[in-house]
Amino acid sequence: MNMKRMRGICALVAVLAIPILGLLFHTGTGNLSVFGIDGLAVICPVGALEAMLGSKGIVLRGVLCIALTVALVLVFGKVLCAWACPFPWLQKFFRRKKRRSAVSASSTSGCSGHCAGCGKALPPVGGKRDGLRLDSRHLVLAGALGSSAIFGFPVFCLVCPIGLTFTILIGVWHLFAFNETTWGLVVFPVILLLEVTLFRKWCTRFCPVSALLSLVSSGNRLFRPSVNPQLCLREDGTDCRACVNACPEKLDPHSDFIPECSKCGQCASACPAKAITFPLVRPSAGNKSK
């Protein structure tokens, strides 16, 4: 099974398991920002921060949720973005045809043949988002936290596509289980559909969860993509860019510091030389910075 399929299954399990388990075991129904028991923030660290800022108090369960997320990100990086978040899959679903043609175009332009023929190793390509960069996502994060403190409730959760996805699932469950109808079953899918179709670059431009995870992920040192220089075609002078072209985060796996890496594995799948792996600790031999 390839990594893309595994990621899809993981995201589906994450999306379905949380509301189904919670509702089966009567642990609560959650709300727009959280899901769980008595307002327990079990999913979203930004929601937990917003809730605490809104209530102007420390909630132990919220702190535990944030601590758990920080620990997970320090070990696995931004793995939640690629392996658990439903939003990229919703976007893929609604732009399937366009995506297919883009993939076939990139697969044919990944390796552009040999360079002038000197046989010398080419420098790494470099990704547009290598390194830690503060961008519009971090502004959205600051706005989400600030507005929660001002208005006293998690404002951003009203439009968060991840929260909306879970809210819709919970609403559908209630419809069938308790025959409860609510306007939310109409309004929330419409908002989600608008976000999926209008905000194509949500993950890289707007998502405050991605912004928060990228800050913590700066400390991630494990399971980073590692390029074996003995296998990489660029070492022979072949102007290969397949890994960089395949990366949804616009990163170069040759680079030392790529906190935006979500460990999606698309660079490894695209590499014609099978030169990319995800070792526990990246060996220094493949640790070349751009």
Binding site residues, ligand SF4, CB under 6 A: 225, 227, 232-234, 240, 242-243, 246-247, 249, 251, 253, 258, 261-267, 270-271, 273, 275-276
Which pair of structure tokens corresponds to residue 257? 């510091």
Is the four-CA dihedral 69, 243, 269, 225 of positive or negative sign? Answer: negative
Output the six-digit token pair for 147. 């507005």
Answer yes or no: are the C-beta atoms of 45 and 144 closer than 8 Å. no
Give me the least distance between CB of 235 and ligand SF4, in Å please.
8
For residues 149 and 236, which CB has a smaller minimum distance to ligand SF4 in the complex? 236
Question: Cβ of residue 190: shortest distance to ligand SF4, in angstroms?
Answer: 31
Tell the smallest beta-carbon distance from residue 252 to ligand SF4 (Å).
7
Instruction: Give the single-character DSSP code of 7.
Output: H
Two tokens at 194? 């608008």
Taking the least distance from each CB to ligand SF4, the nearer of 160 and 227 is: 227
Q: How far is the CB of 70 from ligand SF4 (least distance, A)?
A: 20
Q: Minimum distance from CB of 122 to ligand SF4 (Å)?
A: 8
Whole-number minimum distance, CB 290 to ligand SF4, in Å?
12
The smaller minimum CB distance to ligand SF4, of residues 35 and 278, is found at: 278
Q: Which residues lie across from 158 on neighbouring strands?
A: none
Q: Can you say how many angstroms the Cα of residue 233 is from the centroid of all Cα atoms in its chain?
A: 29
Q: Rounded to whole angstroms, how far apart are CA atoms 247 and 8?
A: 17
Specify burial of residue 241 (Cβ count, 10 A radius: 0-12, 13-18, 19+).
buried
Provide φ and ψ at 276, rounded to 5°.
-110, 130
Q: Which is nearer to ligand SF4, 141 or 258 (CB)?
A: 258
Give 32 or 267: the residue with its C-beta nearer to ligand SF4: 267
Q: Which lies closer to ligand SF4 via its Cβ, residue 234 or residue 282?
A: 234
